[in-house]
Amino acid sequence: MYSNASGIFDHAFRVFESYPKILEVFPAFRSLLLQEIISSRSLHLHAKRVMSALENAVLALNDAEVFTEYLMNLGERHLPWTLKMEQFDVCIRCS
């Protein structure tokens, strides 16, 4: 597990508590209470994927072609969720 797990879950708690509508983006969380979400395996696995994606992006920074290809692929995988920029803004505001 990553070293700052509690910080990641604290951030998730602030986001979900402040902006409950953002839970619509996560189908696995729709029927759960906030405390159940924070302690869920689904959130833990999602956090690991996010941290892995960030690590992969950083590792690709020295090669613009690889970096661009990685981010384009990541974006394409997120198309089914019809994410909006304001949803990312929520995460930044809760940091």
Whether 37 contacts 29, CB under 8 Å:
yes
The per-residue pLDDT for 86 is 83
- 4 pLDDT exceeds 80? no
Quote the CA–CA distance of 63 and 20 in Å, as a whole number. 38
Nearest to 29 by CA among 12, 10, 11, 6: 12
Grade residue 80 by pLDDT with cuts at 50, 70 and 90. confident
What pLDDT, in 10s, does the model give residues 57-73?
999 999 999 999 999 99
What pLDDT, in 10s, does the model give residues 18-34?
888 888 888 888 889 98
Amino acid at 8: I
**Alpha helices (H) in 1-95, listed in sequence order:** 5-18, 34-38, 41-59, 64-77, 85-93
